[in-house]
Chains A and B, each alone.
Chain A
Amino acid sequence: MKVQYQPKPPFLLSTFLVIFIIHANQVGIGIHGFQRVIFMVAKQDSWISVLIAGFVTHIVVFVMIKTLQLYRSTDIYGIHHDVYGKWLGKVFNSLYILYCLWVFLIILKNYIEVLQTWVFPTIPVWLFSSSIILLVIYGVTGGVRIIVGVCFFSVALSLWMFTFIGYPLRFADIDQLLPVMESNFVSILKGAHKMTLTIIGFEILYVIYPYMEKKDKLQKYAHIGIAGTTVVYLLLMLVAIVYFSPGQLESTIWPTLSLFKIVRLPIIERTEFVALTFWLLIILPNLMLYLWAAVRGVKRTFGINTKGVLLAFTTCIFVMSLFINTRIKINRFNDFFASVAFYITFCYPLVLYALARLKKKMNVHKENMK
């Protein structure tokens, strides 16, 4: 395979769309219940954890883009090939493909669980997962432009939900934020670590990078996207802390959804029903981007570009989604995933950057020797 990959001009995307890609891919399923997990560790200082997590994300993304900029136009698959060589590169690429599929399964599974708990307790899992997967296949076969289009609409059409943040604030108790910095720094950091599952998604940059029109402006837009996500998480965290009492928050699995319950409009009661079903549009870009990234990985690494790959992947995910079926299993699955994802999304980019720099230097050195 070639290290460089330059898509044809009609497939290039305007660079500012990366705001929507990153934001849409970060916000997904974790936002439903991240407040509780962090609150358990960092108490009323959880919002500091969110800020720290956001800050770290900025650094990681900065490094990621620096890594990509070492090459002219390539994705993580090309970098792996260059850094690790032919065979080891294939192994690492396969691992990354597996990671993408794994995220897909996590998102799908969590969404179905929420749907079953809140809206349709009787509809079986296979019906949900097969219907969602069909929708995702339809989108992914349309190509990268369609996927990014869904990202854009997903962000643009869900902006109305923010207006509902005001409702719980009427019952807010600001004193619950005090005293600030009561928890020690370690537990705040631990809280930030717990944000992993919620804040990941920015690693899609590694795959979408070659499709960007002006690669020098990417840094700016990517950081705007991440800042947007961090602000959303921060707001939701703050609202959850001031609205719920500490004990209540610890026993609420999905605080964000519970916040929706308070919203009462003259024509709609129980807004969470609407919000939850609307969430399909919010998780669609996540599912599509990860599946697309996996299929692209196969194409780049092994040169296979058939619908068969897509079908094989989705069939595997469908079958696996049937087996993870209880709350405890899902929770353990999530926790295990989060611990692995932390290393893949936060630590690995730094390592890769170092390796890529080293490789570049070695190349220069070799040429000098010649």
Chain B
Amino acid sequence: MVAAILKIRSSFLPKLGAGFFMLAVVLSGTVLGQAVETEAGIPKSAASKIVDPEIIGEEHAVPTQAPNVPPPIQRKHPAKVIVELEVREVVKKLADGVDYLFWTFGGDVPGSFIRIREGDLVEFRLSNHPQNKMPHNIDLHAVTGPGGGATSSFTAPGHTSQFSFKALNPGLYVYHCATAPVGMHVGNGMYGLILVEPKEGLPPVDHEYYVMQGEFYTPGKFGEEGLQAFDQEKAIDERPSYVVFNGAVGSLVGDNALRAKVGERVRLFVGNGGPNLTSSFHVIGEIFDTVYQEGGTVPTQHNIQTTMIPAGGSAIVEFRTDVPGTFILVDHSLFRAFNKGALGMLKVEGPENLLVYSGKEVDAIYLGKQAPENIAAGKSVAELQAKVAMAIKSDPKIAGLNKEIQMEKGKRVYLQTCFACHQPTGLGLPGVFPPLAKSDYLMADKARSIAGVIKGNTGPLKVNGSDYNGVMPPVLLTDEQIANVLTYVRNSFGNEGDAVTTEEVGKVRAEIAHQ
């Protein structure tokens, strides 16, 4: 029968050389074997099975969907573990109103969390759903062997592949599809985590969660509605529209937030599928008591604020919750967090601990350090300005500087300094910023207005019959500028008054300084 197939196969490749012919022999053998074995379901190649004396017993792994993690392994010996994963190409939500055709291990992004023990013999079965378009495979970084299993698990739609590996190295490992173009397969969501628990296990904690970051490249901007496709150009340029935890914007927010109680120990298994970006993983308001950097088995650091997680890498972080509240998980590369979706939540419930964190104790107005300094600086400026003013006054030509020029100059000052509160119209904002237009308060007392500009004006006051109680900070202006701007406001917005001179301002400033 092999000869028969050889004849068929060699006949369609007349132009290829003897080297290919030799390989065709091998391939044809495979074709023969495969066709027969497929009838029985999973092919069994008995010849390649080697008995591992360490292995005791057989069990099926129970992978979990994020953010859940399978329970710690209780057995104290290696076993044969059968892991079954199904690849599915599914349309799911990427963000509100935004759908995406995800390629997934197990139907979700990230792929199912697999937990095995150091020394286990894993029989891995990868099935490619019959309705999928693409061939897929899996490269588990936990595998020691060519392609991490990729070559042995390459699977057409509607087929199943099987390979076995021994989990030699403990640690938290990324797995991903490695079919060309690999960036696209990963960029469509084909990644997950496999934990190879060390023989001695991990220290017990109250909660274990699974968080995995990944970015998505869509033709539409963040939030643009409809079914979005993979954008090859943006992927090559590394310009994602989305950077998310657990496969979608909001997957760890609100009702989906991670949860713990005060005083509990939390362990996060954090992965980064990429395909391109390195994560600056951070939990706002928590300090990681322990970090197993890059998913290794040694607690490498204590008291860490932000840990780097490379694309195709992981980290284990542990912390104790000390106070209640909502703690935000972010990629501290912040535009990813606030503009591309890289936000999650950990909600901690329980009694306050005011010794650790007080909450807000004081809510007071702060005028800034510059206030007294300004007054001191203003004083020296005022002295100089007074001298200048005297000089000007003694020069009859320059003394011709009239009210109109003052108003033009004052208007510029107003539009740079005053308008933000008092508004370009001088009408202010009712109840918040008092009006200057037709203001009885303003026009009643020139010296008071000058003082208000120099030292600010804080506290209750009544303008045109309305009460105000706000803060006007001191305004950093020269006496001349104050004279000009007050001349402007006293002669604009329906007001009619005389000019304010630089000397008048200087005099008020001097009085303030003496107080």
Same complex for A and B? Answer: no
